[in-house]
Structures are given as structure tokens and as C-alpha cells.
Amino acid sequence: GQQVMQIPQYQHVQEGEDFTTYCNSSTTLSNIQWYKQRPGGHPVFLIQLVKSGEVKKQKRLTFQFGEAKKNSSLHITATQTTDVGTYVCAQGAQKLVFGQGTRLTINP
Amino acid sequence: DTGVSQDPRHKITKRGQNVTFRCDPISEHNRLYWYRQTLGQGPEFLTYFQNEAQLEKSRLLSDRFSAERPKGSFSTLEIQRTEQGDSAMYLCASSLEVGGVKVYGYTFGSGTRLTVV
């Protein structure tokens, strides 16, 4: 299946700072999904993006799907300690192929 | 419905032994997936079912791995002659697909952590 590359692999921020993770593919994606995995937990679905250039917001989280549908980003404004975890993107029509994830840690 | 259930939560086994994991998906979901996850990596696809039919199996899955979903309800994943490299978290997920479109994302279970000693 199509691979998705996520950067950065790790990100440490001060509480209140913003955070962004990127998901990139060399080929056009049919959709992109984002999941959050708390330390020791399982992935929890956040959102699905399907349309070119789509932007969706969930409170302090903003998700974007690139115009060419080859990349996506997740931006968190003013991080809080509850945002700690690994954010993973995934894509696929029949079954999802997951990226490696970006692990976010926060200094309170 | 309390979501996707996996049993057991933890399994420690000796190398060479067989193990079997169970997954009970959300009852309304028609698709069931098995993934494997190791530390610092994203979930890695193993296999998936549409109702009772196994539609795809990863090339990474050796002949020692087998999965079933009798009657399109719960699923089992068996690993025969376990090796230390099989140590990982085994995640089950389910989803609802209508007309080839995922209605929502995957709902994952809490996983079964396998340790082969």
C-alpha cells in the first residue's frame, strides 16, 4: 500500500505553545485520517479528510488536506498537558496504512 | 455496545508455544482488522475481514499466523510456534463501510500485549 511519512518523529513543547505535525505521500491519496494514541493506549479516531484543500477544526485542533491530496497537517493551538500523546495519520481505501506518528510531549 | 473488546489484555508465552487472541467488534460494523504495533511505530496492517470473508492478508504475515471470523462476528488471531520477534501489541479494529465508503474511522480495541520469552 501507499506509504505515508510523518514528520517530525518527536516534538517537545512548552505548555501554551503551538504544535504541528505533517503527513506526506509521493502519490495522491483518496483520504486521510488522523488518530491520537495516548501513552500505553490504543489509537482513537479524530477526523477524516476526503476533499482537496479541505480544512476541518475541532476546538484547538485544525486539520488540513493539501490541494494535491498528497499531504496533510494537524495543528494544535496553545497546547495543554492533555494533548500529550502520539498523533498518527493513516490513509487507504480498503484498509488503512498508518504513518509512524509524531510523539508530542509537553512541559507544563 | 461497549466498543471493541480484546482478550486477553496481556499474554506471556514461551517461545515455540501457540497463542490465540480474540476480538469482539462493534456489532453494527461489517469490517474487522488486525494490526500489530511495536514501540515507537505506527500500527502495521496484518489482515482484514468483510463480514466472514478474509479479504486481504499482509505479506508480512508468515504461515504461522492465521485469522478467522466465523459467522462474521468475533475474530480470532492465532500465532503458532511463537518467536521472540512476535512480541508486540496486537490491535483489533472495526469499521462500518457503506458502498465502499468508510462511514467513520476505525474503532480500536485496547489490544493484546504479547511477550514471548
Which residues of chain B does A1 touch, with a Cβ-Cβ cutoff of 8 Å? Answer: 45
Facing A98 at nearest CB: one of B42, B56, B111: B42
Q: Model confidence over A61-102: pLDDT tens digits?
A: 999 999 999 999 999 999 999 999 999 999 987 889 999 999
**Are A36 and A45 spatial neighbours (Cβ–Cβ below 8 Å)?**
no
What chain A residue is nearest to B98 in terms of C-alpha separation?
A94
Q: pLDDT band for position B33 (50/70/90)?
A: very high
Give the pLDDT of residue B97.
84
Q: Which of B41, B89, B94 to mutate to probe the A interface, most A CBs <10 Å?
A: B41
Residue B35 with chain A: CB contacts under 8 Å:
98
Is the alpha carbon torsion for B50, B51, B55, B58 positive or negative?
positive
Q: What is the dihedral of CA A43, A104, B37, A88, to 10 degrees?
A: 50
- Flag whether pLDDT at A3 surpasses 90: no
Longest dimension (CA), chain A: 40
Identify which of A105, A85, A86 has the alpha carbon closest to the alpha carbon of residue A14. A105
Mean pLDDT of A15-23: 98
Residue A94's pLDDT is 82
Q: For residue A39, is pLDDT > 70?
A: yes
Distance CA B94, CA B33 (A): 6
